[in-house]
Structure 1
Amino acid sequence: MSEQSSTQLSRPVRIGVQVQPQQADYAQIRRAVAAAEEAGADLVLNWDHFFPLYGDPDGKHFECWTMLGAWAEATTRVEIGALVSCNSYRNPDLLADMARTVDHISDGRLLLGIGAGWFQRDYDEYGYEFGTAGSRIGDLAEAMPRIEARWARLVPAPVRDIPVMIGGGGEKKTLPLVARHADIWHSFGDAETLRRKAGLLDGYCREIGRDPREVERSVGVEGDPADVGDALLGAGATLFTVNAGGPGYDLGPLRDWLAWRDDHRG
């Protein structure tokens, strides 16, 4: 059995949905989150931007972390988090405290999704320095130990060891960060891309003496799970996340993936 197969088989298949906080009123977002939880989603996620990414660029949009605090009260079972929070927008110690607080509000259901950031309009309009892709990844590398150290000092401590999801596929800088700091690696692409990059991640884990199986493999998905799901599962993914956009929040694709999940859980 390959190591990737071992990673796959050691974890249950999980399905997440990213409820995009754009082009909708908050009441519509809240209903979509409730419906996703009722449908059986394992995770409900938003994103960390200040303007819509799709549709009207100046349309309705809401902030990530204040929304997660509300979701923590409005849900009871699903894990919640951002896919992903932008490291550039908050002091790392503050972000750690925010995550710890939402973790308590949710009774231990928060995961900290985090990435280096990329959407230049957010930076320009809110007064952050955009820098370069390399400088932003460097900032993330400096932030992760600070987040971990702050969690260790906070009173009260987080309810659980908050899972860290790092998003990105950079092979020379991002994947080594994943190996060192992440519980979940989130990526995009087809099965062959996932398999190749997962192999690189495995190598980075071994270099620092970490078991690669400790890092869950997550992938954003579109389309019919009957067409793409098994190949991605075979490449090592066990967490699959679909998108739902406002204002309608069609959860049909989520339900298709949940049915596929249930078939693969036996």
Structure 2
Amino acid sequence: MKTLLSAAAAAVALPAIANAHFLLEYTTDTMIEKPGDVPVKLIFWHPFENGHVMDLEKPQEFYVIHNGEKTDLLDTLEPIRFTGGENEGAAFKGSVPVKRSGDYVLVTVPQPYYEESEDIYIQQLTKAFLNRNELPTDWMNPVGLPTEIIPLNKPTNIIAGSTFTGRVLADGQPVAGAEIEIEYMAAEPDMESSAASAPKASPMPGGAVVAISDDNGYFSFGVPKAGYWGFAALGSGPATEHEGKELSQDAVIWIRAWDLE
């Protein structure tokens, strides 16, 4: 009986574990002072609990948009091993050329990842943001992904304690009723060691933090703490199958919150 109960509990927990995956486009800062190449790491991980690291294949696309122009960054990527609190996995390091003032929108289109525990594929179409000299140019514009989250607040300097609002789109149209998982990057990657730093917080009881988009695709979240926050609209994309199996094509966005001092 005990074995049956344990198996049932594990089965209930599996979807939450799988859905908690987050693709990171990590830079140590979002506000860039000096021109140059900004190091970035792509990691498929559970950063809130400093948990399991998934092996990341070389993405289908990795690029940046600045002043409406797209620059391919795929050739900057080099494979690395990243060590989290539970294991190590395949990841990538690259760089983003930041020269002129304005926004730099990082975009990653990864290969679909097979989640064996659920027998499905996951593809997280991910955006993150840099800015130089506080000039707004691109952060509010769609980049044309099959599914994406459009920020309604400037994502590089959200005030901790305020709210963040986003809009989920698929093929350019709002997605009603999308389930958005919210993740705090409690353990940030160390750029030198390619390992996780000590977590600054722990997940609260009750499982994943979730919001639901309204009829027009909007959702809001009260940001309680400074740092990086990720939002993943699960299965919001138009693609639903890969290699004969179910595909969850997710829209992911990362924002940076700051304390008022």
TM-score (norm 1): 0.27
TM-score (norm 2): 0.27
Higher helix share: 1
Higher strand share: 2
Higher relative contact order, structure no. (Cα contacts within 8 Å, ≥ 6 residues apart): 1
